[in-house]
Structure 1
């Protein structure tokens, strides 16, 4: 973000990435110094940035891309599918299934939410926060908890509980939020396939203020 780019939560992203690479037995480690050297040719110093920097690494190649950061949509919806990531506990960089799912929707207006055995897990590109009676609820396990989600949970003063979030009980929640580095904090307006509709935006507005502290 900015003319002289401010890399949001960079230390945390690099730490998570290196941890995942190690677990995947990819012999590469990224540092801030390496990153700045590699990214510099992509940057135009005359331009003010509000972009998402994506880094992908495999055994042979490291690649970088810049794309305009997502601007929130007032009518953002979701679809729920039954699928769990192969390695949900760390940042796996190779997801043909996820890419295929995302290619079937307009990602500027919609997210695909993954589920397993009737329980909500995560979005393809986001974490899921459910809100009931001004309290925050997140899934117990089998998903990757991202850097932006960790920041929000650390900053909020609201009560946070880990529970099994059943799809059939989603009508009990007034708000469902999506949280991620690419999208920031988004309030779902509806999940048409289960006739869920947002009943409030109170905590969305509150958590969005926390997120904007980063920008």
Structure 2
């Protein structure tokens, strides 16, 4: 269970504090922002809030969250010498909930588990996550990620976006899934052209590298996918992505 440093909920109309509600299973949206450094830096906060507010509009939730408003809701009494945490912001029609927890560092030996599932309303980060949470409880999230596939086409991880590398070509899944902020940032910084294509199990098994990226996990090299007997044969592009991401943290 996550060790939360704080968890708070507020009435959306007044921003008056109410009993905490994680909001999982509600009609709403959420985002997870990495917080890093001695003086807390909220990584890609503008992009996160832009996406969050777009999702609120799509869900017909009449609320707009600004950076100023969010920072006012976060506790300023936390005695943290150096941040490496995850800030979760969740909103439904009448409640906003925020929480902060330590970020868990992914293992250097990292596997993927393939599960036949597609997220509900996959184009946005919605709160219909109870089934996903039940799947995640069965694995060690520091050592494994669940890769979702539908009709044997691989789409995304339960907390990450998927990037394949084959012959130095960057390949992204084609299909209905959430294109995350970390992935979009990294792709803009890499001069290599990328392509979108339907990713089959065969494509996975023939990849030189499988890389996972996301706000929580950062940039992760997958070392194996046991179900298809795949093992990594290179770290070249992973090292480039990781270097770009690390430079952003240290700005």
Output the TM-score relative to the length of structure 1.
Answer: 0.95
CA contact (8 A) 2:219 2:245 kept: yes
Map Cα deviations across residues 138-167 of structure 1 (whole Å, 9 max, x no partner).
Answer: 011211011001001111112211011111
CA contact (8 A) 2:120 2:128 kept: no
Q: How far is the alpha carbon of 1:42 from its aligned partner?
A: 5.9
1:175 is aligned to: 209
2:74 is aligned to: 39
Identify the structure with the greater strand proportion: 2
| Structure 2 Cα separation of the partners of residues 126 and 67 of structure 1 | 18
5+ residue gaps, structure 2: 1-35
144, 166, 173: which one pairs with 1:132?
A: 166
| Structure 1 Cα separation of the partners of residues 190 and 122 of structure 2 | 25
Map Cα deviations across residues 60-108 of structure 1 (whole Å, 9 max, x no partner).
Answer: 3211111222323111001011111111111213311211111111101
Q: Which 4+ runs in 1 deviate beyond 4 A? A: none
1:142 aligns with 2:166: no
1:184 is aligned to: 218
Map Cα deviations across residues 155-182 of structure 1 (whole Å, 9 max, x no partner).
Answer: 1112211011111332210100000000
1:65 aligns with 2:99: yes
1:2 is aligned to: 37
Alpha-carbon spacing, 1:42–1:81, altered in 2? closer, same or farther (3 Å): farther
CA contact (8 A) 2:161 2:212 kept: yes
CA contact (8 A) 1:148 1:181 kept: yes
Q: How far is the alpha carbon of 1:43 from its aligned partner?
A: 3.2
| Structure 2 Cα separation of the partners of residues 95 and 166 of structure 1 | 25
| Structure 1 Cα separation of the partners of residues 121 and 202 of structure 2 | 26
Secondary structure of the residue aligned to 1:40 is: coil
1:163 aligns with 2:201: no
Alpha-carbon spacing, 1:42–1:109, altered in 2? closer, same or farther (3 Å): farther
CA contact (8 A) 1:5 1:49 kept: yes
1:28 aligns with 2:63: yes
| Structure 2 Cα separation of the partners of residues 213 and 123 of structure 1 | 24
| Structure 2 Cα separation of the partners of residues 130 and 18 of structure 1 | 30
Output the TM-score relative to the length of structure 2.
Answer: 0.82
Alpha-carbon spacing, 1:69–1:134, altered in 2? closer, same or farther (3 Å): same
